[in-house]
Amino acid sequence: MTLEQLGNLGDFVAAVATVVTLAYLALQIRASASATRAASHQATTDSFIQANLAISQNAELARIWVAGCAQRSPLSAEDRQRFDTLLLSYFHIFDSIHYQAHAGTGERELLRAEERSIATLVAMPGVREWWAENPYAFSTEFRAYIDGLIAGAAR
């Protein structure tokens, strides 16, 4: 075998090794992205569980939640603050789901599944009142998304 043939063989082996390395890296990236989405989904679920447990395990907070969803304005200042904080927590979770779904780092199916919950929530008069009075803390895109759900609920 000549030196030129050995050089060509070396180039061929290097090219095959490069392709194998790239294929391996692609598989690792796919697995990492899948694990990241799963962790994000679990974190979202945990957030909802914590918010729901806070309401379900505290009769006073449950009363405030039910009353505030129906009509926020009659709540005392203290109860309104508790209700507003709960809504802020829920809407930050929804905002996170919305952001991740549109950024490609989260599941669009999770957003579609939670849309029913969001639509049910924003159909309640007390929640709509809160949303109108709290224009801060959310992106323009998320506000437009929620406003669209509210408009759909009003039909």
5 located within any domain: no
123 located within any domain: yes
Q: Which residues contact 65 (CB under 8 A, 6 or more apart)?
A: 55, 83, 86
How many domains does the structure of the chain reveal?
A: 1
Which letter does DSSP use for residue 74 in this model? T
**Burial class, 68, CB count within 10 angstroms (exposed 0-12 / middle 13-18 / buried 19+):** buried
Domain residues for the domain of 94 are: 37-154
12 located within any domain: no
pLDDT > 90? residue 15 = no
136 located within any domain: yes
Most confident of 17-26, 66-75, 100-109, 128-137: 66-75
What percent of the chain lies above the pLDDT cut of 70? 98
8 located within any domain: no
Q: What is the mean pLDDT of the chain?
A: 86
Q: What is the pLDDT of residue 74?
A: 95
22 located within any domain: no
104 located within any domain: yes
pTM of the model: 0.75
26 located within any domain: no
Q: How confident is the model at residue 21 (pLDDT cuts 50, 70, 90)?
A: confident
83-98: average pLDDT? 92
